[in-house]
Amino acid sequence: MAEPTPIQRFRAPMPLWEAYETVVKRVYGRSRSEDLIAHIRRTIQRHGTEEEKQLLAEADAEIAERLARKHAGRPPKQAGE
């Protein structure tokens, strides 16, 4: 079995972190983690070198593999579920 996705740490004042949580939940309907991943992906897609975009593709494949194992046999969620 593959190792779990590593946890990345960074510093942010707690009021900023808490406000970010409520904003992304209200505006985008997702978690801070999901929003940060989306931001990282967009940044790489827009500004990354070919090598960095290849690393993004590798990361996407890893995520897809993890989700397939996590949800094996379960049909995908429909919009609004």
Q: Where are the domains of the chain?
A: 20-70
Q: What pLDDT is recorded for position 68?
A: 83
Residue whose pair of structure tokens reads 């429909």 in the numeric block:
78
d(CA 76, CA 14): 35
Query: Do 44 and 53 meet the contact criterion of CB atoms below 8 Å apart?
Result: yes
Furthest CA-CA distance within the chain: 41
pLDDT in tens, the chain (81 residues): 467 778 889 899 999 999 999 999 999 999 999 999 999 999 999 999 999 999 999 999 998 888 887 766 666 666 665
Residue 30 is classified by DSSP as S
Q: What pLDDT is recorded for position 2?
A: 60
